[in-house]
Amino acid sequence: MNKEQAKIKKLKFIAEIEKLDRKIQILEVIENQPIDRTNELRRFIGAKLSYYRKQAGMTQLQLSKKIGLSRTSIANIEAGNQEPIIQRLDEMFRLFGAKLWEVLKLADEQLERVNDDGELIK
């Protein structure tokens, strides 16, 4: 990947995060209570990582050795209890033929509970 492609990828990622932030802010106003966006995103990403790892027939220990993290760290990331480094996440998802950007897009779709008029969709 050249510098231009990397820059475009980074800008797309930032735009997706900002879009997710705006939707959550709308939800906070509608429901009049703060939503912990970090926990929601961590749980979703952790569940996806666990799914891809299991589909590949890989254990947490095997993944930890390939990535250079402890098995406990992998377990905590999958459970949504640890905030992983973005580069590590990207590396892990690529091992399974997935892209972090696709997972973040799915997370955005899952959290998309607000229509264009700012109304909560149940």
What band does 32 get if pLDDT is binned at 50, 70 and 90?
low
What band does 119 get if pLDDT is binned at 50, 70 and 90?
low
Which DSSP letter does residue 38 get?
Answer: H
Provide the pLDDT for residue 31.
58
Provide the pLDDT for residue 74.
94
Confidence check: pLDDT of 118 > 70: no
Mean pLDDT of 104-119: 63
First to last CA, the chain: 41
Q: Does domain 3-111 have CATH number 3.40.50.300?
A: no
Q: Look up tokens 């510098």; give the residue.
A: 3
